[in-house]
Amino acid sequence: MKKLLPTSTAGSLPKPAWIAEPEKLWSPWKLQGDKLIEGKQDALRVAVQEQQQAGIDIVSDGEQTRQHFVTTFIEYLNGVDFERRKTVKIRDRYEASVPVVVDSVARKNPVFVDDAKFLRNQTQQPIKWALPGPMTMIDTLFDDYYQSREKLAWEFAKILNQEAKELEAAGVDIIQFDEPAFNVFFDEVNDWGIAALEKAIEGLRCETAVHICYGYGIKANTDWKKTLGSEWRQYEEVFPKLQASSINFISLECHNSRVPMDLLELIRGKKVMVGAIDVASQKIETPQEVADTLRQALRFVDADKLYPCTNCGMAPLPRQVARGKLNALSAGAQIVRQELSAETAC
Interface ranges with Zn ion (CB under 5 A): 213, 312
Q: Please, what is the minimum distance in Å from the beta carbon of residue 32 to Zn ion? A: 29
The conformation of residue 83, written as its DSSP 8-state character, comes to E
- Indicate the residue among 313 and 332 with the shorter CB distance to Zn ion: 313
Q: Please, what is the minimum distance in Å from the beta carbon of residue 152 to Zn ion? A: 22
**Looking at this protein, which amino acid is placed at residue 92?**
D
- Indicate the residue among 70 and 172 with the shorter CB distance to Zn ion: 70
Q: Please, what is the minimum distance in Å from the beta carbon of residue 72 to Zn ion? A: 16
- Indicate the residue among 211 and 337 with the shorter CB distance to Zn ion: 211
Q: Please, what is the minimum distance in Å from the beta carbon of residue 316 to Zn ion? A: 11
- Indicate the residue among 118 and 251 with the shorter CB distance to Zn ion: 251
- Indicate the residue among 131 and 312 with the shorter CB distance to Zn ion: 312
**Looking at this protein, which amino acid is placed at residue 144?**
D
- Alpha-carbon distance 133 to 137, whole Å? 6
Reported in sequence order, the residue ranges of the chain that DSSP labels E, i.e. its strands, are: 77-90, 94-107, 128-132, 142-143, 174-178, 207-212, 249-253, 271-275, 306-309
Beta bridge partners of 106: 78
Count of beta carbons in the 10 Å neighbourhood of residue 203 = 8
Q: Please, what is the minimum distance in Å from the beta carbon of residue 247 to Zn ion? A: 16
The conformation of residue 29, written as its DSSP 8-state character, comes to B
CB-based contacts of 209, cutoff 8 Å, min separation 6: 128, 174, 175, 176, 177, 247, 248, 249, 250, 251, 273
